[in-house]
Structure 1
């Protein structure tokens, strides 16, 4: 269930971005990328705490870790450059799953204001995800915002977000799936494919 803190942080992110990105879809794309980025860093930190090693921000990608972005020696301009390079190159990271790679495919930073990015990332940094349910709640709220902001309440949800949400929910063949505002049935089709693939592996 979506908690008020998560909702407020997402709203804060949108408020920060709206001056540079008035299009709700563009805002949600950037928030999506930021959330996944932070989620990967959280998982790396958790792995280290449990005695393991970093996975996502290792090797050539270690320099893009969340701590590296917020190093006290890094200026806002340097942070912007580092983050922009990170999201553009993350698709080449051999250690991220295909689901995350799809999120970063063709990712880029559409504005070049260091202070806006710094404030945005500070807000994203307040999110802490110890498991994927919280992330799912955040995306569910983002999608509801996107739907309410579209022309006549209509928006085509980006395919990578659809697939990501379906993977998070992880439906099975015994589940009942309802999408009352299905539009072109993107979620239903993705859920069907997910269940079909899951059944094959069973």
Structure 2
């Protein structure tokens, strides 16, 4: 989590933007991200130079010798007016065109990027304060991004909202991406799932960059993301590049439309698709309607996952609780499709406070593998009750946290078979789920133990009340005597 000190420093920078006339939260995040990106490029080249010197090899440069003055460490020392000229006229145009490949996601979405900081004094203040942020730690940088995105306090028109970083991390840990995976988030936003998947791979694969084929795959063909907000696409592309992915495949695309022709392309889906959206049938890809005839985006995205995954491909997606128990034909048909024709592994029920203060919707994580030939024998359920943060609008750190337990139990399912329905996790057979109309709500199967409470007999309770009344009357009489009141 972002510390109080870092939060106050970020708030100070945010206030500089605000008082300077940039009041749209997404615009602030975008401009903030440009400068973080510029600083990150300088830090990345510094690391490349150190490694090259250590290994005795030629430096793979981001800035050529002629572009040295465009580096953060150089222009931050200039006067306010010189810094403004340098950043607005040279550095910003440089990052818009730096990728070289005109078809790359970064180049496409930076094409209409605008440098909005209006005055030299404002830029100098922002640069000075960003320079004080401790961003060498990747986790801190991720926390900073999450905190910035939390400033967007209202949900989007299609119901999308920010996925907390610790929930993203848990889902990635559950799915354990491999160096050969092809990973997609069809509602990518700031690319949080893709970034965390990349970080997981770095932490768990020593040979990731030592083997040329794996390195090339990581940088070019592993990560895919779609979104319909160009600002978020820019932020997502920069986020991916700052985390070491050279050519992220971030696309401006409505994932549910006919224009998305992806079919059996990916091996892993990590997603938190928009909830509560409703689309016209005419705008939805016909192939998705064959799987489930509906206008509801949360159901259509599940159909999309099934279509775009390769056989053997895995999915972990956040879904609203209504997907699990909805009684419409569309709800039942998509659940039946996953259970009967593919392999549903688990349902992790999350408390409604997970997405506060932005939304109070109850959600779950659905985990399945596309097989095309069934495979569901029993489904693992987990009743998550705590995620390490308070479940109110403040979301302060607390001791209670089920996340480590969820990850541990999921990766040791052989130890789960004898658990009772009264415990946090348990198995439910496919037959029982089928007999219940393919209902996947944990409350349908969880058993609650009630402790027997013994109460006193009514006559004892009444006598106790009489004693209390008598004591009250005695005290009232004493008080009146003390106040010299007539009794």
Q: 1:167 aligns with which of 191, 194, 198?
A: 194
- Structure 1 unaligned regions, length at least 5: none
Indicate yes or no: 2:76 matched with 1:70. Answer: yes
Unaligned runs of 5+ in 2: 54-58, 162-185, 201-266, 278-296, 314-487
Structure number with the bigger relative contact order (C-alpha 8 A, sep ≥ 6) is 1
TM-score, length of structure 2 as denominator length: 0.32
Cα distance in 2 between the residues matched to 1:91 and 1:39:
15
- Aligned position for 1:50: 51
Displacement, 1:112?
2.7
- Distance across 1 between alignment mates of 2:136 and 2:95: 22
- Could you tell me whether the CA contact under 8 Å between 2:39 and 2:72 is conserved in 1? yes
Whether the 8 Å CA contact 2:99–2:107 is kept in 1: the answer is no
Residues 13 and 123 in structure 1, CA contact (< 8 A), matched pair in contact too: yes
Q: Deviations over 1:33-84 (max 9, x none)?
A: 111111221122222233453632334532210122123xx32111011111
More strand by share: 2
Which residue of structure 2 lines up, in the alignment, with residue 115 of structure 1?
121
Evaluate the alpha carbon distance shift between residue 116 and residue 66 of structure 1 in structure 2; reply closer, same or farther with a 3 A threshold.
Answer: same
Residue 83 to residue 196, structure 1, CA distance change in 2 (3 Å): farther
What residue is the counterpart of 2:94 in the other structure? 89
Per-residue CA deviations over 1:15-36 (Å, capped at 9, x if unaligned) read 0110221222211111111111
Distance 1:8 1:102 in 2: 34
CA offsets per residue over residues 88-126 of structure 1, 9 Å max, x none?
331211479x56556744333213311110000111112
Contact 1:13 1:120 in 2 (8 A): yes
Q: How many residues align structurally?
A: 181
What whole-Å deviation, never above 9, does each CA across 1:149-186 have from its counterpart, x for those lacking one?
Answer: xxxx22478x9x8254333122796787557x75768x
Counterpart CA distance in 2 for 1:128 and 1:101 is 28
| TM-score between both structures, scaled by the size of structure 1 | 0.70
CA distance in 1, matches of 2:269, 2:4: 28
SS at match of 1:6: helix
What is residue 17 of structure 1 aligned with on the other side? Answer: 17
Compared CA separation, residues 176 and 81, structure 1 to 2 (3 A): closer
| Structure with higher helix content | 1
